Each structure stands twice: as C-alpha cells, then as structure tokens.
Structure 1
Amino acid sequence: MAAIESLDGLSATELARELRACAGRMIANEPEDIVRLRARKLDTGREFSVWEYTIGYCMNLSDVASVLRDQAACAARGEEAGDVATLARTMERLCIWYAGQFETTGKMTDTEAILTRCAACFAGTDDADVFCDLARGLERYLVQLMFWVDRQLPWSAVSDLVHGYRLRQAASAE
C-alpha cells in the first residue's frame, strides 16, 4: 500500500487501484492495523467485543458498498431511477461514520485514513464508472481486512462454549 500519508494525493481512480492492490498484498501480509489491534488485546485481555464489532464493520460497510455500487451501475444504464451524486453522498457519509467507528473501537488508524480519503473521493464523484470502481476497491479492501480479523477470533473456543454447554446441559438432564 502507498504510505497512508500519501493517500490525500490520490484521485478516486488511483485510490481504487491502490485499494485493490493493497487487498491483494493483504492475502499474504498481515495489515499493521491487525498487528496493533492484537497488541492492544494483549494489553487489556478483554478485546473480544472489539474484534466482533470490527468484523461487523467490515461486513456491513462492504455489503452496503456492494449494493450502492450495483444501484449506481443500474442507474447509469437507465435500468432504474437513481442519481450517482446522491449515492456518492451516501457513501461519503458512510465512510465518515465507519472511519470513526474503526478509530474509536479498534484504533485502526490505517483503515480510518483509508475511509477518510474514500469519503473525500466519493464526495466529488458524480460519474457512475468512477463511483463503481472506487466502491469495488473499497469492498475488496474491507473483505480482505475482514479475513484478517476472522483469523484472530478464537472460533473453536467460542464453539466449545456454546455447543459444549449445550451438550453438558443435555447430558446432565438425562
């Protein structure tokens, strides 16, 4: 990824390309936000809810970006009513809100910077192709980030708590 500090100079198209490239690199390279989030967990020992909220933020924002991207593409083709500028304003507001959530909940400064830059790029977009390209780049970044968050969650322990409890309850009832 380009240095987070250099994102301000990227256009929407350049940012979309960089987000896709970053997602590609994240397949094998853990993002710094995850390293910092894991280190924070070690300090407090009580971060499961932070990880759960973070994976939810990744899922929810990537899903909404996908829906709005599809709506913009349909509107551009004249298949349904829609205004790309309004959809872009919606994405701008979502990026601003989620940037705050990633910063407050997980102290994920890189993701916050990316979303802040995406918000600024969406704000100036009224072209469906540019909108769809940036929304798709953001989706790819968020989905790959979500995989890293998912890798940190102790799913076997959670499953054992839930299913083990039920099995123990069923056995004691017999």
Structure 2
Amino acid sequence: MDNQTNNNNKSLVDTAQDTQSDTVSASETTATESAKSTKSTKSTKPSPFPKRLIILMLVYILTSVSGLISIGTLAEQSALFCVLTLMMVVAILGRQKAALYLLRAYAVVQLALFSFLPIIMYDPDNLVAGPTTFEIGQYHLIMSDWIIFTVLIALGVWQVWVGFSGKVASCFNRKVNMNIIS
C-alpha cells in the first residue's frame, strides 16, 4: 500500500508540474503572440509621405490646375495631360504601386522632353527672333533661353531623383495590385 501511495503522490506531483508548465508555456505563447501582433500593427501602419514627394505633388497640382484654368488658350491635349497628372496625384495619395511606376515614367519622359527642348526650339523653321518675355501680373520679365532650359532640365532631374529615391518607394504599398481603383 505504501508503494501505491508513493505512486499516487508522484503522479499528483507530475500532474501539478505539467499543469504549471502548460500555464507558463501558454503565457509565453500569449506574450509572443501579442509581441508579434504589435510588430505587425507597426509594420502595417503606412509610412508618412516624404517631404520631397509632398512638394512634387504640390507642383503637379499647381501646374495641372493652372493648365486647366488656361484651357481656352491651349490645345485639347494639354487638358488631357493636366487631368492625367491630377489622377496620378490621387493614385499617389492612395499609395498604389501603379502610381509609383507612373510617377517614374512621367518624370523620365519629362526629363527627356526638357533635354530635347533646346534642339527643338532652335530648329531654323521654328526659330523666333527676340528674347522670351513673361508677363506675371504687372511684371514683365525678359529672360534668355538658356536660363529657361537650365531651370526646366534641373526640374526634370529633381523629378527623376524624387521618383527613384528609396524613401519615396518605401511609402508605396507593394502588396496592392496594379488596379488603381482598388
């Protein structure tokens, strides 16, 4: 009988230790799961837009809106480009992967056009005599062409830099598909 009592006591002690270890492992599992969930909530939180991207979006919005306001003096294709640019800004705000690709393509095409602009403008058939003048309100600015071309090419290089920088690429959600509407 003494043997049987010792066996019962051992089994009770083993059961108590098993329950205690199960409780500890359950609390450890809960702690690791909560740590993982806090990490996952931190990783799912979208990173804020870089300041350079915000400035570029503001430039796109201002140029598009000014292009749409002066639509009576411009060609219809320019209105389509203004609307396309505004749609691209909306897609960028939605952090779409397609918007990142469109931003990069848009910047590269603009840089290419700005780079070829001096060649196009100095074609003998298109050559306009006299300096370029700008009228901004009551101010009349007279600028040489090389200053205008330099500013436009610098703007194009800056757009490409913003589009291909790592901070800008990291703020877009890579898991979202190419559908802009979703």
- TM-score, structure 2 as length reference: 0.30
The answer to which structure has the higher helix fraction is: 1
Higher strand residue share:
2
TM-score scaled by structure 1?
Answer: 0.31
Task: State the structure with more CA Rg.
Answer: 2
